[in-house]
Amino acid sequence: MRTPVILLASGCFNPLTNMHLRMFEIARDHLHRMGQYDVIGGVISPVHDAYGKKELISATHRLNMIKLALQDNDWVKLSDWEAKQESWTRTRQILQHHQNVINAYLKSENNINVNEADLNWMPDNIHKQCGTNRGVVVKLLCGADLLESFGTPGLWADEDIEAIVGEHGLVVITRLNVNLPEFIYNSDILTKYLANIMIVTEFIRNEISSTKIRRALRRSESVKYLIPDKVIDYINKYSLYGSQNTKIF
């Protein structure tokens, strides 16, 4: 029997791009083709404001843009749990929270109090898709650059990496200039849990990044077809990313 999986992408989404959405599609295709997993949902979890990364705009705006982008998406949902915490939360805790909540909810057959915020990101027809006996695994969906950041001294605790890869698992999308097999080979922890790391090769190379989108916006260059139209309208409406009085459609 296939294991039910939710793919969770945690990041800045500053702003959300079409590549963020595409990551979910190619990851789901890949996992289904492998035959071992049943991807029952996708979750986008934008980082808390306190993460404080350069140029990070408020979570309110980032959440609103994601909501707009997902209006026509029938399987990827927004989770605002991380963004609404008191402060920044480690990725390990985010994965654990989502996995615990969904499994408790499934076991209880609706009889526990799941708060509104958590109900929002759960897949539709979750009981039908999983029944009560099949535990859902929440896997971290990320790009190769995020995996590479595991090697930045002091950024990730070893026990967090071990829990993320060992208890959840990674689905990693290739990115230009990152040699994933070599990076994994050089890490004892990643090699130990190799079976839990799925590398998804994006053969249709696409180097859209939020950094490039912000740069284009600052320079009044068009970002159409790189981010969803509704997100462009929102950026225009609130003059975000230095896009005042510019033509970005």
Ligand X SMILES: Nc1ncnc2c1ncn2[C@@H]1O[C@H](COP(=O)(O)OP(=O)(O)OP(=O)(O)O)[C@@H](O)[C@H]1O
Ligand Y SMILES: NC(=O)c1ccc[n+]([C@@H]2O[C@H](COP(=O)(O)O)[C@@H](O)[C@H]2O)c1
**Given candidates 142, 184, 216, 248, which one binds ligand X under the rule CB under 6 A?**
142
| Binding residues among 13-72 for ligand Y as defined by CB under 6 A | 47, 51, 53
The answer to the question of residue 79 lying near ligand X (CB under 6 A) is: no
Single residue of 75, 208, 215, 238 touching ligand X by CB under 6 A: 208
**Cβ distance to ligand Y smaller for residue 26 or 144:** 144
* Contact status, residue 58 vs residue 21, Cβ threshold 8 Å: no
Helix runs in the chain, H state only: 18-34, 59-69, 91-108, 116-121, 126-130, 144-148, 158-163, 180-185, 188-192, 210-218, 229-237
Whether 45 and 81 have beta carbons less than 8 Å apart is answered as yes
Give 156 or 238: the residue with its C-beta nearer to ligand Y.
156
Per-residue x/- mask for ligand X, residues 8 to 47, rule CB under 6 A?
A: -x-xxxx--x-xx--x------------------------
| Binder of residue 195, out of ligand Y, ligand X, none (CB less than 5 to 8 A by kind) | none
Residue of the chain from 211, 220, 222, 244 that contacts ligand X (CB under 6 A): 211
Which residue's CB atom is positioned nearest to ligand X? 143
Spatial contact of 31 and 161, defined as CB atoms under 8 Å apart: no
Q: Burial of 159 by CB count in 10 Å (0-12 exposed, 13-18 middle, 19+ buried)?
A: exposed
Q: Which residue in 49, 145, 160, 167 binds ligand X (CB under 6 A)?
A: 145
Count interface residues toward ligand Y (CB under 6 A).
Answer: 14
**How many residues at the interface with ligand X, by CB under 6 A?**
21
Which own/partner pairs from 114-123 qualify as long-range (CB within 8 Å, at least 24 positions apart)?
117/79, 117/80, 117/81, 117/84, 118/79, 118/81, 120/77, 120/78, 120/79, 120/80, 121/41, 121/43, 121/77, 121/78, 121/79, 121/81, 122/41, 122/77, 123/6, 123/40, 123/41, 123/75, 123/77
62 binds, among ligand Y, ligand X, none (CB under 5 to 8 A by kind): none
Q: Select from 29-37, 87-95, 99-107, 172-180 the region that touches ligand Y (CB under 6 A).
A: 87-95
| Residue where the block lists tokens 């890949």 | 30
Is 231 in contact with 206 (CB distance < 8 Å)?
no
Closest approach of Cβ 133 to ligand Y, in Å? 31
Give residues in contact with ligand X (CB under 6 A).
9, 11-14, 17, 19-20, 23, 142-143, 145-146, 173, 175, 206-211
Give residues in contact with ligand Y (CB under 6 A).
10-12, 47, 51, 53, 90-92, 146, 149, 155-156, 160
